[in-house]
Structure 1
Amino acid sequence: MRIAACIGSALLVLIAGSPAYAADAPAVKAKAAYVVDSAGTIHFDKRETARLPVASLVKVMTAYVVLREARLGDTVTVTAADVRHAKSNGATTAALGKGERLTVRDLLHGLMLPSGADAANALARRYGPGKAAFVRKMNATARSLGLDDTRYTNADGLPEPALGGYSTAVDQVELARRALANPVFRTIVGREVHRVPKSAVHRAHTWRNTNKLLSQADDVAGVKTGYTRAAGFCLLFAGERGGRQVIGVLLNDQNERRFSTAERLLDYAGSQITIG
């Protein structure tokens, strides 16, 4: 009996100290999710290859293409069509006005922080040139990055059911990894607020990041929120944990829950890195 007890105690010690018996992954109720770190370790996956609408996560590719095509100091004139596009579709806006001239750097903040469809329209129109040409660039870039389960139909993620845009959790995480390698992109998506002082060619703007994770958790690097009725609430997120970059995505979740779930997933990945 004493021998059996000793063996049992030894087994308990081995189990407790084994990475295979680390803390359970957090519950994730999003339709699809994927979390991976910079060493290539997958920490969570759920329907990660399912093709789904991703709402405004589309704007990550918009920013990625613009950063390859434009100079940050270029100026873009906002048109009535840019303003009308956002308002008529009930989309989130950067509150741009007809005739304003803003730099690409500022428009990228208006695109990524308040998720302005007006900023997306202006950038796509300028750097297609024209929206159709810009979408072709988005899809060509997706192919070049190996995002074979991603198809874009516009630059802002507004639903167009007849055209059938989609992506996957795996593709979104890979796109974020590529985008975050650009220090300008990384700086923009990591900001909680960006202010544009009034000038002779544009109004003053204050844009606040829709990503609550930035103020809710430590060492978070962004990346992007999204919502449409078809896509549900989405969140592409990244942070530093255990000395590694961790990137994840939640597709079709609930509004506030996506932020708390993302925080738990980041911390869970950190705990696995530490144990490993």
Structure 2
Amino acid sequence: MKKIFSSIICLLLLTATISLPAFAAEKSTELAADAKSAILIERDTGSILYDKNSHEKLPPASMTKIMTMILIMEALEQNKLSMNEKVRTSEYAASMGGSQIFLETGEEMTVEEMLRGISIGSANDASVAMAEKIAGSEEEFVDMMNKKVKELGLKDTKFQNATGLPEKDHYSSAYDMAMMAKELLRHENITKFTGTYESYLRESTDKKFWLVNTNKLVKFYPGVDGLKTGFTNEAKFCLTATAKKNGMRVVAVVFGAPSTKVRNAQVSKMLDYAFAKYVTHPIYKKGQSLAEVKVSKGDTKKIQSLTSEPISVLTKKGEKIESIKKTIKLNENLKAPVKKGDKIGTITIKKDGKVLAKSNLIASKDVKQAGWWKLFKRSFGMFNKTN
């Protein structure tokens, strides 16, 4: 009898051990049940609100263009490009298939027009034309893309082209794509493009081209203003979406949904969940000056450190933020030359020892190396002060 009783107890314990993880897995996948992988984050803090296989390496299709747009926006920010600058289309760029704006060899469009083609119409030809404009060739541009991946600390991504067209060893993950979206959204002007539902190119010609956003949630979900869809036969239906409501911005990523309808429904469900459960508390705006940093051997002795992005604290609705601690760490060995936008420090916000937010602080302006005469006069002045 004891043996039978012991056997029953062991069987019950074994059943419990097996069934509990299965129940937990079912609960954790209910927001994106039909996607291969998914993630939901709050943009300012990067906090993960929902996760399903977010580090699985999968083909990202045209969501690749999020990184393409990051490098375009960086070039604009660094004054290497201007929105009105003309971009000539090469024969190679014009030969791209898939989604396109039907650029002809030798045709010129402005950077602004090319960016509209990429962000609204997912144009492969415009993506390659911009890649060649920035780096000289798509191959060199892909090197820049992968260097940026490493700079962002991402582990699940490798790019082979600027478009997302099928190619061996071209992959990313939901987590990495969310972090790339977070980076792209630092450039606040990008949503003027990604959040536009329809536009036109070549308006003054007989080849007027109608652009309609491939992300239908821009029109049908209040607050959605980006970012990028993707589809290939291998990748299935993918979407990295962002929405802002009541001051909180979130990013939802879905890989491998079986249809556009399912993809949009699951992303909408994720966004609904975020806005129903969470709220952000703004701490600093982007570009806010926090502290001075000394610059060694520069034509300016000190420089302001600025916030590189909006900084917020995330809580569940109803929770208060109290006793938060802000720690600013500056580069104590900063030497000229310094470029505007260079990382020169960090700010960390903690509560009860837990990191709630961490962000880079950047240089407010360029600082050139001081000439020998200026350095001499500065040293001579210091010598006089000490005597």
The partner residue of 1:166 within 148, 162, 171 is 171
**Would you tell me which structure has more helix in proportion to its own residues?**
1
Identity across the alignment (%): 30
Aligned 8 A contact 1:39 1:244 in 2: no
Summarize the alignment of residues 253-268 of structure 1 with structure 2, pairs less than 5 Å apart.
253-254=257-258, 255-268=260-273
1:94 aligns with 2:134: no
User: Could you say what secondary structure the match of 2:63 adopts?
Assistant: helix
Aligned 8 A contact 1:25 1:265 in 2: no
Cα RMSD between the aligned structures? 1.9
TM-score (normalizing by structure 1): 0.83
Q: Hey, what's the Cα distance between the residues in 2 that align with 1:47 and 1:242?
A: 29
Summarize the alignment of residues 113-124 of structure 1 with structure 2, pairs less than 5 Å apart.
113-124=120-131
User: Could you say what secondary structure the match of 1:43 adopts?
Assistant: strand
Aligned equivalent of 2:86:
75
User: Could you say what secondary structure the match of 1:151 adopts?
Assistant: coil
Aligned 8 A contact 2:88 2:106 in 1: yes
Aligned equivalent of 1:13:
none
**Would you tell me which structure has more strand in proportion to its own residues?**
2
**Unaligned ranges ≥5, structure 2:** 1-28, 76-80, 280-315, 318-387
Runs of 4+ aligned residues of structure 1 deviating over 6 Å after TM superposition are none
Aligned equivalent of 2:113:
106
TM-score (normalizing by structure 2): 0.60
- Number of positions where the alignment pairs a residue of Structure 1 with one of Structure 2: 246
Give how far 1:125 is off.
1.6
What is the identity, as a one-letter code, of the residue corresponding to 1:71? S
Give how far 1:215 is off.
1.3
Aligned 8 A contact 1:120 1:155 in 2: yes
**Unaligned ranges ≥5, structure 1:** 1-23
1:148 aligns with 2:152: no
User: Looking at both structures, which has the greater relative contact order when contacts are Cα pairs under 8 Å and sequence separation is at least 6?
Assistant: 1
What is the identity, as a one-letter code, of the residue corresponding to 2:221? A
Aligned 8 A contact 2:46 2:182 in 1: no
Deviations 1:184-216 (A, max 9, x none): 21211111012234458x943321110011111
Q: Hey, what's the Cα distance between the residues in 2 that align with 1:260 and 1:207?
A: 23
Give how far 1:95 is off.
2.2
Q: Hey, what's the Cα distance between the residues in 1 that align with 2:266 and 2:246?
A: 19
Aligned 8 A contact 1:25 1:268 in 2: no
User: Could you say what secondary structure the match of 1:235 adopts?
Assistant: strand
For the structure 1 residues 241 and 102, does the alpha-carbon distance in structure 2 shift closer, same or farther, using more than 3 Å as the test? same
Larger radius of gyration: 2
For the structure 1 residues 215 and 123, does the alpha-carbon distance in structure 2 shift closer, same or farther, using more than 3 Å as the test? same
The partner residue of 1:221 within 218, 225, 234 is 225
